[in-house]
């Protein structure tokens, strides 16, 4: 069995952190077996090195090793990529195709970003892990495969399971042995070592002197959080190597290349579950309000058509008021009138500020059965309006200006009477 130091040299792994050494040790121990392994850790910590170590130290090392980025394959084609398809299985399937599990038979498959797999694909993968069988897309004939699966993810698996994004039974199948790689911010002594390695590589690549950090710059390097981990550190080293003419890098210079001004950017304690739940509740409330409003507006349209069919414009107006009040609330009269006018404009409902012939021409297209409305003449409309004004005046006079009593006598609501008074300037 190779030593940890030998494995580091072989796979160019830099660092002496205890957690890193423990992860490599577990990979060495599990490699000779066929146990499924799940590699966890943040994005950019170098998870892809572990499956290579496992494959190279296993009895499958002379067979194929295939790395698959599950997050980069579209959901509609991932089953075909992994398990293959038969000719004619879907549009564009002009030939039979082998999938990765068939090609890698006897070898190792590395499923990177396994947490991004669709649920339907997770069911197929579970079957492979349980009995080594899979079905090609478009085929009913099971096929056998003998592959070793090593998976990796930066997703918090238990959260994904709680949210029904990942199958619990598949998680336990994949994570017979779980290897966790620490984030770069927990490997303080390794940060400068990695930076020096990257600086040396880039000096050879671009044929220029190697950059060096001052003591203050090294301290700043170690204090920074490195959200992108090793990948981010490498990018910073490359930028400085290419852009800086001065090869001795001060803390001030390094500070300008670090996002957020080189702050520690320590993580805040946030209850993600609560935050997402609050957003979900707000969204549900908004949907409910919109659906309720849609129902009210549909009722308003339906009632208008039914009453227009009976040619009862006064009842149309009263029912419109009732429904508009339900939608907009019981505000004062001026607000109510504005809401009613707005609703009339949107829904093409009868509006007392329009003449009757305009109402008919606007609402008639709602149903071709109501063409009879076009036969009403303008003279008759004006006569009805005059009679309506006369009736309101007489009723107000009899009731000594008391609107409530006058409205009761006329058989209309006090709100309707108020609007009529305002409309006709009585």
The verdict on 361 and 385 lying in the same domain is no
The verdict on 276 and 322 lying in the same domain is yes
Q: Could you read off the pLDDT of 39-85 as tens digits, one per residue?
A: 999 999 999 999 999 999 999 999 999 999 999 999 889 999 999 99
The verdict on 367 and 412 lying in the same domain is no
- Of 139, 155, 182, the residue at which a domain comes to its end is 182
- Of 142, 165, 182, the residue at which a domain comes to its end is 182
For residues 364 and 128, the model is more confident at 128
The verdict on 123 and 61 lying in the same domain is yes
CB 181 within 8 A of CB 41: yes
The verdict on 415 and 364 lying in the same domain is no
**What sign has the CA pseudo-torsion 161, 165, 169, 175?**
negative
Percent of the chain residues topping a pLDDT of 70? 75
The verdict on 106 and 146 lying in the same domain is yes
Lowest average pLDDT, out of 278-292, 300-314, 320-334, goes to 320-334
pLDDT grade, residue 321 (50/70/90)? low
Q: How many angstroms separate the CA atoms of 284 and 278, rounded?
A: 10
Per-residue pLDDT, 317: 59
The verdict on 228 and 290 lying in the same domain is no
Q: How many CB atoms lie within 10 A of CB 353?
A: 11
pLDDT grade, residue 125 (50/70/90)? very high
DSSP letters, 253-279, are HHHHHSGGGG---PPP---HHHHHHHH
164-171: long-range pairs with CB below 8 Å, 24+:
165/115, 165/119, 166/115, 166/117, 166/122, 167/119, 167/122, 167/123, 167/126, 169/126, 170/122, 170/125, 170/126, 170/129, 171/38
Question: What residue numbers bound the domain in which 224 lies?
Answer: 185-262
- Of 337, 352, 375, the residue at which a domain comes to its end is 375
Lowest average pLDDT, out of 207-211, 290-294, 317-321, goes to 317-321
The tally of domains found in the chain comes to 4
The verdict on 105 and 134 lying in the same domain is yes
Q: Could you read off the pLDDT of 215-237 as tens digits, one per residue?
A: 999 999 999 999 999 999 999 99
This prediction's pTM: 0.62
Q: What is the arithmetic mean of pLDDT over 376-404?
A: 72
The verdict on 37 and 137 lying in the same domain is yes
CATH number of the domain residue 171 falls in: 3.40.50.300
The verdict on 51 and 147 lying in the same domain is yes
Q: What angle do CA 157, 14, 44 make, to 5 degrees?
A: 35
Per-residue pLDDT, 283: 65
Percent of the chain residues topping a pLDDT of 90? 58
CATH number of the domain residue 241 falls in: 1.10.8.60
C-alpha neighbours within 13 Å on the C-beta side of residue 364: 14
The verdict on 176 and 197 lying in the same domain is no
The contacts of residue 241 (CB under 8 Å, 6+ apart) are: 199, 202, 203, 206, 208, 211
CATH number of the domain residue 403 falls in: 1.10.10
Lowest average pLDDT, out of 48-52, 124-128, 374-378, 401-405, goes to 374-378
The verdict on 310 and 415 lying in the same domain is no
Q: How many angstroms separate the CA atoms of 257 and 22, rounded?
A: 32
Q: How many angstroms separate the CA atoms of 170 and 128, rounded?
A: 11
Q: Could you read off the pLDDT of 410-424 as tens digits, one per residue?
A: 788 877 887 878 777
Q: Could you read off the pLDDT of 85-112 as tens digits, one per residue?
A: 999 888 888 899 999 999 999 999 999 9
Q: How many angstroms separate the CA atoms of 134 and 79, rounded?
A: 10
Per-residue pLDDT, 312: 56
Most confident of 86-95, 212-221, 319-328, 375-384: 212-221
């Amino acid at each position: 069995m190779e030593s940890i130091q030998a494995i580091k040299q072989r796979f160019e792994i830099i660092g002496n952190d205890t957690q890193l050494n423990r992860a490599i040790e577990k990979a060495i121990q599990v490699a000779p077996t066929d146990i499924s392994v799940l590699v966890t850790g943040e994005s950019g910590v170098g998870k892809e090195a572990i499956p290579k170590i496992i494959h190279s130290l296993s009895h499958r090392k002379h067979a194929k090793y295939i790395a698959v980025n599950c997050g980069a394959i579209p959901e509609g084609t991932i089953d075909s990529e992994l398990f293959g398809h038969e000719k004619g299985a879907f549009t564009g399937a002009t030939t039979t195709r082998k999938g990765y599990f068939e090609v890698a038979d006897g070898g190792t498959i590395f499923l990177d970003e396994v947490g991004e797999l669709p649920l339907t694909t997770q069911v197929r993968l579970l079957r492979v892990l349980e009995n080594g069988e899979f079905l090609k897309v478009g085929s009913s004939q099971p096929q056998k495969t003998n592959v070793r699966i090593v998976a990796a993810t930066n997703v918090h698996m238990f959260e994904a399971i709680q949210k029904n994004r990942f199958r619990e039974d598949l998680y336990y199948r994949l994570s017979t042995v779980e290897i966790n790689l620490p984030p770069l911010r927990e490997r303080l002594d390794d940060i400068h070592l990695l930076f020096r390695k990257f600086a040396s590589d880039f000096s050879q690549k671009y044929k220029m002197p190697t950059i060096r950090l001052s003591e203050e710059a090294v301290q700043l390097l170690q204090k920074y959080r490195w959200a992108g981990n090793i990948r981010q550190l490498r990018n910073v080293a490359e930028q400085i190597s290419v852009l800086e003419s001065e090869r001795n890098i001060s803390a001030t210079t390094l500070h300008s290349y670090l996002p957020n001004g080189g702050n520690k950017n320590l993580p805040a304690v946030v209850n993600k579950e609560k935050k997402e739940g609050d957003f979900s509740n707000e969204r549900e409330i908004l949907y409910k309000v919109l659906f309720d409003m849609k129902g009210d507006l549909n009722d308003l349209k339906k009632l208008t058509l039914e009453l227009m069919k009976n040619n009862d414009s006064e009842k149309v107006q009263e029912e419109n008021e009732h429904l508009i009040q339900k939608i907009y609330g019981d505000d004062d009269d001026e607000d109510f009138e504005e809401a009613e006018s707005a609703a009339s404009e949107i829904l093409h409902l009868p509006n007392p500020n329009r003449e009757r012939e305009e109402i008919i021409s606007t609402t008639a297209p709602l149903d071709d059965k109501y063409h009879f409305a076009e036969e009403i003449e303008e003279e008759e409309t004006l006569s009805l309006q005059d009679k309506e004004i006369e009736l309101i005046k007489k009723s107000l006079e009899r009731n000594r200006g008391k609107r409530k009593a006058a409205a009761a006598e006329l058989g209309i609501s006090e709100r309707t009477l108020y609007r009529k008074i305002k409309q006709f300037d009585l």
